[in-house]
Structure 1
Amino acid sequence: MKTFLCDSIKNSVRLNNNRQIIFIWMGEKLKIQKQNKKIILFTIILFAIISVLISTGKVNAKENTGRDSQHTDDEKISRMVQRSTEDDDDEDEDEGDENVDLSGRKSFDVKLDVTADRGKAVYVVDVKVTCEYDFNGYIRLKTKREASDTMTYDYYITLPASTEKSLSINVPFSDGDYFDTNNLTVQIVNKKDVVLFSQKHNDIFREALYKYMYIGALSNSYKKLSYLEATGSKINRMYNMSESEGKLVEITPDNLISEISKLDMLFIDDFDTSTLSPEQISAIEDYVYKGGSLVIGTGKNLDSALKGFGKSFIKASCSGLSSRQYQFAGKAIQAADIRFDTGFKSFGSEFQGAGDEKRRGYIYISNYSFSDPVITGSAYAQSYIVDFYNMLDRTEAYRIYDDGVMSIDMIEGFFRNIEGLSSFESGGLKIIIVLYVLIIGPVLYLLLKKSNKREFFWVAIPAVTAVFMVGIMIYGRRFMLEDKKAASVTIASANGSGQRETFLSAYSTRDGKIEFKTRSDLNAIDTVGYDYYGRYNSNRAVYRAVTNGDDVTLIHEGKEKFDKGYFHLKLDNEQAGNIHVTYNTSYELLNEAKIENNTKYDFKYFLILRKNKFIIVNGCKKGGVSDVAKDKVYTGNYVRSQSVPSFFGSDTLEKNLDVISCLYLGANAVYDGQSNFVIGVTENYERITKGDISENSYGVIYDTVDNAKDK
């Protein structure tokens, strides 16, 4: 028994000693772990400091090495260019042209020629470059206009030594070119974006636009119209801001379509326009709509020059020779009896008649024939024609000033509904949060208490939280934004006339700068201009278009995330078809009207625009017909504005504000206060962007509606 008790006591002591040893060992281990953590943390901090010092030293060493080696010239050149380009912002110091080879070597020879293509509304900038050594880099055109943001065009070139490289670059017309100082800087830039050559030109666009006034004459008596050239006279342009020399161009049915876009003014006299083809008539009408001036002579030839045009285009008619006595320079002359619509106004020219605005263009109809012997034989004919040009030019200046251009304010207003930023709906998230609080608190506590398993509370809370986190992530995917986002609205005539115009918005959710590729068949790339009163906005953005072979990259240098860049693009119009509206005598109320979709697109909605009235109609698929009486959605008064009107009582339109905004944007683009239009909007139109950027693309296709009843 004693032996048993002694053994038990020994075992108990041994066990207690072991426990003490274990506790002592664990305590020592914890101390060691704490010490190790401190050592590890100290080591990490020390390593980070050493890494920063080493990397900084490497950078400094690399920079110093670069300064002492081949980069010396480029660094000096860059500083020189920076000093030279700072002067660009001071117009008082920028008089005349700069042509300084900033590399210090007479390495580059740059020649520049600018012409205006009025048909495409672009300046064609022809650049010729030679270099003494092999060069790979960019030709850069930098435009600075008071009515728009800075736009830079970079074109990559490979230039062998002592060879010449020719390049044509299209720079779109800007409304600021008519009134404001506009500058173009040509630069040679290497791959490291160091400017090696810079050449500046002041007012070069205005000079290209107004150096000559091209006057076309479509007439069987062309040789009698030489006085129209006003040889030796200076023609005032834009309220005497520029002067032009007259250049007379003979227009025939054969060259009409190819030459009309180059003209400032077209005379039609002693010519039967009913002999022209529909394509030729359409070309004349499109020329006027886009800003051209059409002058028509009647007189002894009566209405021969009017016959080919519809009543919706020329709202005037001839009833024969007038019984009134008319005189030109004091001599009696035959005059036609013209009945003008109320829109026509006379401005007191010796060439008796009246004019009417047509969108951006102008139509003047004279009671006389410009080839009448009384005029062609007068010693005052040239003097009077110069006065006529000057008066006509004042109407052009007024139209450009007051035509309601598509300004940045207007585009921004519509693109708020178009650009695809999802509005965050917090209702669902609120419900998830309320459920989480209820479950994580009283519900979970009561359940565990009832099941007598409250010790699992520390496991249940993370599990429930994880489930709700997954739910929030699934819910949030509805509002997930892509890194790069774009929205585009392309406006085009249904019959293929003119060019397609695309307004494009782009932004990045990660960076202020947005950079993306676009299609290579664009005719012109530009920013969206300010309206006339906003042209002195100091918060201008920088836009770039970089072309390397078939790759075209557009860049907007924003400052913060979601800073949007707005581009204005032009490309060939490849539409073929029409949107035809049939109606009866009650067209004023649009009763019983039918809209036939003879295009290749499915339209979601149509908008019929007649002066200050509009009606929105449900669309139809290609080849289909919409019945206005059955498919009418909304009617109202049209006002050209910077945002979509409130559609009171129409929940359908409020839910489709993206496509309705596109319709209204299209209406603003074609509206002229006189003509009638039908406009269709389609979703998923041709993409403008390429690559890793998401795009919402819309097409706005329009056609004219005749005033005359169709059935």
Structure 2
Amino acid sequence: MKNLFKVLVASVIIFSAIFSGFSAGAAETAKDENKLEVKLNVGFNDNYKIGFSTPVNISIKNNYKDIDGEVEIRVPSSPGKYMSYVKPVSLQKGAEKLITINVPIGNDNRSKYSVNIYDGDHKVYEDSITTVASNNITTFIGILSDDFDSLSYINSAPASTGMSLITKTIKLDEKNFPEDIFTLKAFNILVINDFDTSRLSKGQYEILKQWVKNGGTLIVGTGSKYNKTLSAFKDDFIQGSQGSMQEIATSKIYELATNGDNKNEARLDVLSLSVKDSAVLLEDKNVSLVQANEKGTGVVGILAFDLGKAPFVNWNNNTVFMEKILALVNPSLTSTNNINNGVTYFNNDIYGLQQAVNMFSEMATARTSSFYLILLAYILVVAPLSYFILKRLDKREWMWLTVPVLAVVFAGIVYITGSGTRLGKITTNVISYINIDNKGNVSTDTYAGILNTNKSKVKLTSQSGDRFIPVANNYYSDRETKTEVQEAKIHTGEDSGIEYKNSSLLETKIIQIQEASLELGRLETNLSLKNGKISGTIKNSTAMDLEDCLLLLPDGYYIVRSLKKGETVDLAKLNANNHFGNMYEIVNDVYFRNNAGLTGQSTVDQKRMMDLRQEGNILQRLYNYGSSQIDGIKFIGFSKTQVHSTMLVNDVQAKKNERNILIMPVDIRFADGDTLEYPMGFVPYEVINTSNVNFDMNTRRFFGNGSAEVVFRIDKAMLVEEMEVKASGKNTKATNSSYMIYNIGEEIYEPVDDIKISGEKLRAYLSSDNTVKLRLEVTDGEIGLPQMSAKGRNK
């Protein structure tokens, strides 16, 4: 009893000591916090979107002591786990510093993030922030200007008629302008006016250019401040020559803002500019007022005037005017057909990503036939043969020994046989969507899966300065980080990288990669159309060997099985295939049904089957997040050529496999001498003024009980002699649904079915800018989108 009492006393003393230690630690942390004055701000003036990265600004005033440690933001990543975004901090006593860390905002828009400051390993500050973000369809307009107030009228973005957008205008400068694409891509539009762009760092400037190529709309105002605005553009991003400043009287400004109703002239200071590869969109007095320069999937609009001066400031129509400018520079901003702007194809689909990065034929393939033989031998040896031999020896009681021994022996055989199917070293499987425009500008959306079955801790760094961001499962609610387990540590300073701490050995780690601009060349095409048939050649002048390629047309496609670097394919030697306007049909025919001819027995067949399945899945995913409809002419090809930088995994170069999908729009000459012909389905269109109907881009059909208008835009350089309207979707399920065409002279809609229009009748329906407007009435059902063809000659 006496000994028991001593044990109890000792236990109480030890427990009290431990508890007092914890209490002292907590008290010390609280005491330390009082000596650090910290202010937290999320986003750009509290504006940020779900599904994008955003800056968290941590302002620290140190009244404590010299600190040498790091700032940490804990972001929930999945149930029970969080990821730490950290940046080093060194702060002397009495000093102040602003630390900015970009973190992702999950799809659950009310999440609690922990903010901690460490001195070495000692936590000296902790707090939390709760994110309440804008939805991901809010339009962000970023403005860089030294006179931001003068541009306050730029507060609205153009939209398709009948639709409205939620828009937020955000003031930017060299201090808060993002240095990574994951943060900048939250912006839809950027305006630079009266701002010295040379104040942007090299990294910020490179990200700005990549953002445009990835689908952004950049507006650059010049006028008398052109030296400031254009100071950063010393490379080939914007090339051209500039003349002198002059004052002109022009009615184009008021006309644009009022749809031609106001033709009064305004006095305007303009800069004479000639920009290489640009299209002049607005011109007067031999001065290009507005030019557009396409870059990748985005566009730069260069204005000859200063947006912060008269007549724009304090003008009643200035907001409408800016909307018109944006729509003029980038018509896709007002189009319902604006697909895949920003090149975000996986859209946080971590499950789709895991499937894509794990489906590489380069990975070791199990030899199933060998395993079947081993299994059959095991069954025969362990049961009948083993029993027969022991029976002959009258030793059947030894079965308890022979069965486990044989099991161990066969396990060894299986292990040796399957050794070739295991990962020999850490492997990175890269999936990349590569868009190349006709000038060779490249935009990419790149992901990598890290496969490692030997170590639970994985450190990822880049030799070439690429930035990484982990892709996490963000679909859950009530997210906290205080009691969860750290999954990864993301270093956001100059020495960027990711350390995975507590991830499953069998779970593929997925990251998105922001890399330096790729220089890959482009496809050289020489295609023309005559009598409804396409002829000509496509030459692969890229740096990649291409295979399983498609030339997609609105009404058909060509299959190009292989097109290596430098090779040329002649379409006359290929067979054209027809389709019904749905991409899923093509994917099924080209990539999935082809598997039926493969036996799957040989390793070659297995790998070929995996390649086709993977390519089909990747291409299908591309259209899942856009449209399965085929508009325009595109070349699509797959490549295993390694064009991306090799990353370091645990400080060693990892083995790397790549699967790149190249997407490039293709120009085609519709001229044969002086004759022009746009066959059925090749005339671009835009859906506007939808009322109580939904337009399904995948099927090109309208659903509901209402109406919609479709505008067909024939090339302005064409003198139209004949056009044909085909009501391809006339097989409607709504008995009272109908198509009508707009009569310009009568200013009314007239009923129309399949019809050819030529001669003098064209004037009734074809506008001066070669547009034709149709109206669809849907009554309790569905109706298809009509198509148009046009013939004529050059003006």
Structure 2 CA distance for partners of 1:72 and 1:136, relative to 1, 3 Å: farther
1:25-78 Cα distance to aligned partner (Å, 9 max, x none): xxxxxxxxxxxxxxxxxxxxxxxxxxxxx9xx9999987645434x54444578
- 3-state DSSP class of the match of 2:527? coil
Question: What is the CA–CA distance in structure 2 between the aligned matches of 1:263 and 1:443, rounded to whole Å?
Answer: 73
Question: What is the CA–CA distance in structure 2 between the aligned matches of 1:694 and 1:710, rounded to whole Å?
Answer: 49
Q: CA deviation at 1:648?
A: 0.8
Q: 1:594 aligns with which of 538, 549, 557?
A: 538
Q: Kindly provide the amino acid, as one letter, of the partner of residue 383 in structure 1.
A: N
- 3-state DSSP class of the match of 1:137? strand
Q: 1:386 aligns with which of 319, 336, 350?
A: 319
The percentage of aligned residue pairs carrying the same residue is 13
Structure 2 CA distance for partners of 1:289 and 1:693, relative to 1, 3 Å: closer
Paired residues of 2:552 and 2:558 also in contact (CA < 8 A):
yes
Question: What is the CA–CA distance in structure 1 between the aligned matches of 2:442 and 2:12, rounded to whole Å?
Answer: 57
Question: What is the CA–CA distance in structure 1 between the aligned matches of 2:572 and 2:14, rounded to whole Å?
Answer: 76
Whether 1:505 aligns to 2:449 is yes
Whether 1:700 aligns to 2:620 is no
Which structure has the highest strand share of the two?
2
Whether 1:487 aligns to 2:447 is no
Q: 1:516 aligns with which of 443, 452, 459?
A: 459
Question: What is the CA–CA distance in structure 1 between the aligned matches of 2:576 and 2:389, rounded to whole Å?
Answer: 55
Question: What is the CA–CA distance in structure 2 between the aligned matches of 1:377 and 1:170, rounded to whole Å?
Answer: 38
Q: 2:639 aligns with which of 681, 694, 700?
A: 681
User: For 1:183-332, what aligned pairs fall within 5 Å after superposition?
Assistant: 186-189=115-118, 192=121, 194=123, 196-198=125-127, 200=129, 213-214=142-143, 231=151, 233=153, 235-236=155-156, 241=166, 243-244=168-169, 264=189, 287=212, 290-292=215-217, 328=260, 330-331=262-263
Q: Who is 1:135 aligned against?
A: 67
Q: CA deviation at 1:594?
A: 3.2
Q: CA deviation at 1:128?
A: 5.5
Question: What is the CA–CA distance in structure 2 between the aligned matches of 1:408 and 1:237, rounded to whole Å?
Answer: 23
User: For 1:236-635, what aligned pairs fall within 5 Å after superposition?
Assistant: 236=156, 241=166, 243-244=168-169, 264=189, 287=212, 290-292=215-217, 328=260, 330-331=262-263, 382-389=315-322, 395=333, 405-407=344-346, 410=349, 412-413=351-352, 415-419=354-358, 428-443=370-385, 467-480=409-422, 486-492=428-434, 497=441, 500-506=444-450, 515-519=458-462, 524-528=467-471, 544-547=488-491, 550=495, 552-555=497-500, 562-573=506-517, 575-585=518-528, 593-599=537-543, 601-610=544-553, 617-625=560-568
Whether 1:690 aligns to 2:649 is yes
Question: What is the CA–CA distance in structure 2 between the aligned matches of 1:364 and 1:552, rounded to whole Å?
Answer: 36
- 3-state DSSP class of the match of 1:579? strand
Q: Who is 1:156 aligned against?
A: 88
Paired residues of 2:353 and 2:510 also in contact (CA < 8 A):
no
Paired residues of 1:418 and 1:662 also in contact (CA < 8 A):
no
Q: CA deviation at 1:134?
A: 3.3
Paired residues of 1:687 and 1:697 also in contact (CA < 8 A):
no
Q: CA deviation at 1:496?
A: 7.5
Q: Who is 2:615 aligned against?
A: 660
Structure 2 CA distance for partners of 1:654 and 1:133, relative to 1, 3 Å: same
Structure 2 segments unaligned to the other structure (5+ residues):
1-6, 159-163, 175-183, 194-204, 223-237, 240-250, 267-289, 599-604, 672-795
Structure 2 CA distance for partners of 1:138 and 1:619, relative to 1, 3 Å: farther
Q: Kindly provide the amino acid, as one letter, of the partner of residue 386 in structure 1.
A: T
Q: Kindly provide the amino acid, as one letter, of the partner of residue 579 in structure 1.
A: R
What RMSD over aligned residues (CA atoms) do the two structures have, in Å?
A: 6.6
Q: Kindly provide the amino acid, as one letter, of the partner of residue 374 in structure 2.
A: I
Q: CA deviation at 1:438?
A: 2.4
Question: What is the CA–CA distance in structure 2 between the aligned matches of 1:440 and 1:197, rounded to whole Å?
Answer: 63
Q: 2:35 aligns with which of 94, 102, 106?
A: 106
Q: CA deviation at 1:432?
A: 1.9
Larger Rg: 1
Q: CA deviation at 1:264?
A: 3.0
Q: Kindly provide the amino acid, as one letter, of the partner of residue 654 in structure 1.
A: M
Q: CA deviation at 1:175?
A: 9.7
Q: CA deviation at 1:384?
A: 1.4
Structure 2 CA distance for partners of 1:157 and 1:664, relative to 1, 3 Å: same
Question: What is the CA–CA distance in structure 1 between the aligned matches of 2:416 and 2:70, rounded to whole Å?
Answer: 47
Structure 2 CA distance for partners of 1:551 and 1:330, relative to 1, 3 Å: closer
Q: CA deviation at 1:439?
A: 3.2
Q: CA deviation at 1:489?
A: 1.7
Question: What is the CA–CA distance in structure 2 between the aligned matches of 1:59 and 1:657, rounded to whole Å?
Answer: 67
Question: What is the CA–CA distance in structure 1 between the aligned matches of 2:549 and 2:336, rounded to whole Å?
Answer: 32
Which TM-score applies when normalising by structure 2? 0.50
Q: Kindly provide the amino acid, as one letter, of the partner of residue 412 in structure 2.
A: V
Paired residues of 2:156 and 2:167 also in contact (CA < 8 A):
yes
Paired residues of 2:432 and 2:444 also in contact (CA < 8 A):
yes
- 3-state DSSP class of the match of 1:431? helix
Q: Kindly provide the amino acid, as one letter, of the partner of residue 292 in structure 1.
A: T
1:94-122 Cα distance to aligned partner (Å, 9 max, x none): xxxxxxx774431355676966999xx97
1:160-203 Cα distance to aligned partner (Å, 9 max, x none): 5445566554557x7979xx678876431455585723364756
- 3-state DSSP class of the match of 1:474? helix
Q: Kindly provide the amino acid, as one letter, of the partner of residue 188 in structure 1.
A: I
Whether 1:68 aligns to 2:20 is yes
Q: Kindly provide the amino acid, as one letter, of the partner of residue 657 in structure 2.
A: S
Kindly tell me the number of residue pairs found equivalent between the two proteins: 541
Paired residues of 1:615 and 1:632 also in contact (CA < 8 A):
yes
Q: CA deviation at 1:292?
A: 0.9
Which TM-score applies when normalising by structure 1? 0.55
Structure 2 CA distance for partners of 1:295 and 1:545, relative to 1, 3 Å: same
Q: CA deviation at 1:580?
A: 1.4
Question: What is the CA–CA distance in structure 2 between the aligned matches of 1:522 and 1:111, rounded to whole Å?
Answer: 29
Q: CA deviation at 1:461?
A: 7.1
- 3-state DSSP class of the match of 1:383? coil
Question: What is the CA–CA distance in structure 1 between the aligned matches of 2:32 and 2:173, rounded to whole Å?
Answer: 45
Structure 2 CA distance for partners of 1:570 and 1:291, relative to 1, 3 Å: same
1:566-622 Cα distance to aligned partner (Å, 9 max, x none): 33221212x2231314343259877664332431x4445445455686655334554
Q: Who is 1:221 aligned against?
A: none
Q: CA deviation at 1:139?
A: 0.9
User: For 1:642-657, what aligned pairs fall within 5 Å after superposition?
Assistant: 645=588, 647-650=592-595, 651=598, 654-657=609-612
Structure 1 segments unaligned to the other structure (5+ residues):
1-53, 79-100, 217-225, 250-258, 269-279, 298-307, 310-320, 335-352
Structure 2 CA distance for partners of 1:261 and 1:445, relative to 1, 3 Å: closer
Question: What is the CA–CA distance in structure 2 between the aligned matches of 1:526 and 1:670, rounded to whole Å?
Answer: 21
Paired residues of 1:138 and 1:154 also in contact (CA < 8 A):
yes
- 3-state DSSP class of the match of 1:550? coil
Structure 2 CA distance for partners of 1:159 and 1:481, relative to 1, 3 Å: same
Question: What is the CA–CA distance in structure 2 between the aligned matches of 1:640 and 1:186, rounded to whole Å?
Answer: 46
Paired residues of 2:61 and 2:97 also in contact (CA < 8 A):
yes
